[in-house]
Amino acid sequence: MDYNFQFNVVWRNFDALLEGAWLTLQLGVFAFTCGCLIGLVGAACLSFAPRPVRWLVHAFVIFITNTPALIQIYFLYFGLPEFGIRWSNEACVLIGLTLNAGAYLTMILRAGFLSVRQTEMEAGETMGMSLPQRIRYIVVPHIAKSIYPALANFFIVILVMGTSVGAVIGVDELTGQAINLSTVNYRWLEYFTIVALMYVVLTFIASIGLALLGRWAFRVKARIF
């Protein structure tokens, strides 16, 4: 291979890549956090709501998890304007990713709802706790602890695979920035080598952050290394 790597091109525009990485992190954290809230409501509905509501939640989950995130975001970005709803490309990615994460997290969190010990729920009930209180004080800490690894893995999926879809509709997150920059001087290989490493660093930082959060907030004894 006689390709001549010229990384100095990348370093000259490294600030732009850092900005992209920052946006990627923001998109990932926002979509995951809001997705968790949607997932929590969805999973709670699947366990406690009357049948018509459960059907609606199932329909939402089936629809979202069986279509590609890219198509969903296309629909928001190119489809909604036909109905007079015009959102910025960043808003479309954010909303699309959030709904997507919400559907997957509904099913991930459902496992947590199903594994909660019914006896603890009964004890809470006889002590006068309302259903929202029992969810808040018994189910959520149980979920956080028992399926924390699954949640952390899913965050990484959103952070890396989810956010990069934004590049397709011109959002300047990390992948988008790399495409923008490399189309200027055709140093694709250099840019994407560096960007790949930046994703690794990003997920590494995120993993450590999640492990520390789990240890501090939920007594999860996750190993960082």
- Hey, is 154 helix, strand or coil? helix
Is the CB of 36 or the CB of 174 nearer to another protein? 36
Residue 123 or 196: which CB sits closer to another protein? 123
Verify binding: residue 221, another protein, rule CB under 8 A: no
Per-residue x/- mask for another protein, residues 125 to 154, rule CB under 8 A?
xxxxx---x---xx--xx--x---------
- To another protein, the closest distance from the beta carbon of 75 in angstroms equals 40
CB of 219 to another protein, least distance (A): 8
Two structure tokens written together for 92? 């479309």
Is 202 within 8 Å of 54 (Cβ atoms)? no
Binding mask 91-130 for another protein (x = CB under 8 A): --------------------------x-xx-xxxxxxxx-
Q: How far is CA 224 from CA 29, 89, 216, in A?
A: 19, 35, 13
| CA gap 143, 93 in Å, rounded | 28
Residue for token pair 């490493």:
197
- Residue 55 within binding range of another protein, rule CB under 8 A: no
39/147 Cα distance (integer angstroms): 13
Based on CB atoms, which residue is closest to another protein, 133 or 183? Answer: 133
Quickly list H helices, 86-135: 89-115, 118-126, 131-134
Told to check if 48 binds another protein by CB under 8 A, we report: no
Residues that bind another protein (CB under 8 A): 117, 119-120, 122-129, 133, 137-138, 141-142, 145, 218-219
